[in-house]
A and B are shown apart, each in its own frame.
Chain A
Amino acid sequence: MKKELEPLIQLDDIYGVIAASTDGIIIESATRKEIDEETAAALTAKVSKEVADKTGIKRNVLSIIKGEKGYLIFIIKKDFVLGVIGGNDINLGEVKQILRKVAERIQGILSG
């Protein structure tokens, strides 16, 4: 599973990639910068749950949250959420494209 995250973690200015269950438990993660993976997984799952619950759309929603110092980007899939944390210099278009592909692959693995 870790191998699946490589295309994302190798991109410019990415701090970390986390695949978590919808209740915030880490499935797999990879980091390049010191981030608290458990907190990141929990928060990503929490925000994605908020989005899913409030909008009623529970899968295939890609969210880009921009803060002053960087991005939290995640995609909600059926059984998990895949999130990326990065700095202001990431290439958003590239990250989105690869995030979708990686999420599809992980979904395939989990559906096994």
Chain B
Amino acid sequence: MDNDGLKSAPGSIDVMISLADLYIQNNLLDQAVELLSGVYNENPEEPRIIEKLIELYILKGNETKAKILLQQGLSVDKNYKGFQKYMKLIEEEKTADRIREEIAEAVEVREEVIPLEELEEKKTLAEETKEEQVEKVEMVEKPMIEVPEKEVEENVEEEAGVDPIKRVLSRLYEIDEVLGMILSDETGLLIAENVRVNIDTEGTGALLSSIYTETVSTLERLNLGGFDYIIFEFPRGVVLTLASPPIVLTVMCKKEVQEGLLLLKAKGVMNELRNMLGV
């Protein structure tokens, strides 16, 4: 028996999207992202979910994530109208504010708004146990989408969830001593983080960016060329900072880490992030 009933029930996805719309209308963007992230994990190639997440991230002002999801959506279905729409907006170089306005207007004029109570009821139904979902799907004779077992396992293994940047960052966890990573811009603003320890990631990212800025000017004045990386060996741990303007990647590790291996892996991850973000 297919153990993923939600994947095979297009109606459930419609309900989730409608519920997300309602959250958006009520300016509950984080709840909408949380809701759709779960659906996305079950249905990573469902264009409607990807489209809605793109919309949400634009509304939240996180254009980077929106662009990454758009790239991913285009790789799933380059002809999907929703993706074409966002491509066009980006090609027209509309500012994020203008795109947000357009989305907000579109949300307002949507005709059929399901009352919150009804949506919550449908959501509860959609979230029933997987076996029950499959039974319901069979009862209404909706076609099951066959999902190869391997693909299901791979999806389960995606510990970083919906965020593609976090997913790339998590590859550094192949090194046991790695405790976490922070991706920020040159000014210290946090882009993404993936940490196993309890630290103030925003503060740490800002702090390391400040050291990075100081370092860049020092290298120039010493005629040592442009910045490549910094490794700090503290008494109780190692911190590596790599930069590829405008992004700065910081990796925190236990002191036993093999720095050569760490550097190689981190450079690979950095290259992937650069390609992903188009910088």
Contact = CB atoms under 8 A, between A and B. Distances in A.
Contacts, number: 79
- B interface, over-half SS: mixed
Interface in A1-55: 35, 39-40, 43-44, 46-47, 50-51, 54-55
Given A57-B234, A64-B230, A65-B230, A47 B224 contact: no
Given A39-B221, A46-B218, A47-B214, A66 B230 contact: yes
Interface residues of B, number: 23
B225 interface: yes
Contacts of B214: 46-47, 50
B211 A57 contact: no
Interface in A63-112: 63-72, 85, 96
Nearest to A71: B224
Contacts of B208: 54
Interface string B78-92: 000000000000000
Contacts of B221: 39, 43
Interface of A: 35, 39-40, 43-44, 46-47, 50-51, 54-55, 57, 60-72, 85, 96
Interface of B: 207-208, 210-211, 214-215, 218-219, 221-235
20 contacts: A35-B222, A43-B218, A43-B222, A46-B218, A47-B211, A50-B211, A54-B210, A54-B211, A55-B232, A55-B234, A62-B232, A63-B230, A64-B231, A65-B215, A65-B227, A65-B229, A65-B230, A67-B225, A70-B225, A85-B222
